Amino acid sequence: MKFIVSSSALLKQLSGINGVITTNPVVPILENFLFEIEEGTLTVTASDLQTSMITELEVESRESGSIAVPARILLETLKNLPEQPVTFSIDEETYSVEISSDNGRYKLAGENATDFPKVPAVSNDFSVDLSTDVLASAINNTIFATSNDELRPAMTGVYMNLTDTNTTFVSTDGHRLIRYRRVDVASENGNAIIIPRKALNLLKSTLPAENTSVSVEFNVSNAFFKFDNIKMICRLIDERYPDYENVIPLDNNNKMTIERADLLSSLKRIAIYANKTTHQVRLKITGSELQVSAEDLDFSNEANERLSCEHDGEDIEIGFNARFLIEMLNNLDSSKIELNLSEPNKAGLIVPLDKDENEDILLLVMPVMLNNYV
């Protein structure tokens, strides 16, 4: 079996799907790309059993066949070749792969394609179309707050709930919660799934810069994403998602409006002086002034700053983990935010004030108990 392909075109497609491949896979053959050729089209599959990515490109070939090719050595070779046509010659009896270029010849040992795990087919039980902009925005706004706790698998992914009026994406790690809602994406047959973090990270890095349509199909066990000439199939997290709506406090009669950039830069400076275990910062709101402070008694470090804000409600003092606040504010584009509070021992809500008319973002962060409230 033989085919000719542009070295840079092949490298571009392989780089897009290479993120799936792990260094120590469960099955050794998963260190390979699966090459399948039929009627001048090369289909390349990469998989880690949980997630599979597939890409296609046109090649010069009159034959059909398949082979598993070592991913790392092939990518390294292509990265160091100048742009040129390269010829792949495959011996289907010995599974050896020879790559010929203007510079020379490279021989590597492939494997039998039949040993490569079959990619699950997703019967079109349920489908929805999203734009890449909406999907990228949903991933960027939620993925950072997913949990690493394998004992609570539902929280290691992003919950996606489609209804006939909107689509909601939710992530939480128990300390903070992000609810990102789009009214421009809806489906008459409501459905909810939990997409693993790794699959979303791969999608995030593969989505094209230009805005195109992404077709999403899913059934009870797998989700299938398709855009341009890339497909991704991932196994869904089969768990019940926590009842997040119950955690969001409704009676927040204490509202503070402030410039996001001012609060963010202040927190970054003050956090340097916070305790390295709790990362606790105090926010004390009195009238139209916010005092941000932190102290680390072990090293006698302390810092405080004053910022002007708009405030509606009683004076309040509340503690938060600075790292959580910084990460949440970093992920927002809004120039102004509103911090909604009720009690020093209840969650605070961050709401961006400038946002796309089709989106609704709510960020919840749990407080850190201050010593004077113990």
- pLDDT exceeds 60 at position 1: yes
Q: How far apart are CA 286 and CA 280, in angstroms?
A: 19
CB 344 within 8 A of CB 367: yes
> Residue 35 belongs to what H/E stretch?
strand 32-38
Q: Which residues contact 152 (CB under 8 A, 6 or more apart)?
A: 174
pLDDT of 373 > 50? The answer is no
CA dihedral (321, 323, 325, 329) in degrees, to 10, reads 180
b/e code 51-68 from CB counts within 10 Å (16+ = b) = bbbbbebebebeeeebbb
Rounded Cα–Cα distance for residues 69 and 66 (Å)? 10
Contact (Cβ atoms closer than 8 angstroms) between residue 252 and residue 314: no
Q: What is the pLDDT of residues 174-213, one digit of tens each?
A: 999 999 999 999 888 888 999 999 999 999 999 988 999 9
Checking if the pLDDT of 265 tops 80, the result is yes
* 74 pLDDT tier (thresholds 50, 70, 90): very high
Which residue would you say has higher pLDDT here, 144 or 251?
144
- The DSSP output letter for 244 is G
Note the pLDDT tens digit of each residue in 85-131: 999 999 989 999 999 999 899 999 999 999 999 998 876 678 889 99
For residues 72 and 89, what is the distance between their CA atoms, to the nearest angstrom? 19
pLDDT digits (tens, 9 = 90+) for 140-180: 999 999 999 999 999 999 999 999 999 999 999 999 999 99
Average pLDDT for the chain: 94
Instruction: Walk me through the domains of the chain, giving residue ranges and CATH numbers.
Output: 2-115 (3.10.150.10), 126-245 (3.10.150.10), 248-373 (3.10.150.10)
User: Is a pLDDT exceeding 50 seen at residue 374?
Assistant: no
Residue 218 has pLDDT above 80, yes or no: yes
24 Cβ contact partners less than 8 Å away, ≥ 6 residues apart: none
**Percent share of the chain, pLDDT over 90:** 88
- Average confidence (pLDDT) over 282-311: 95
pLDDT value of residue 124: 65
pTM: 0.90
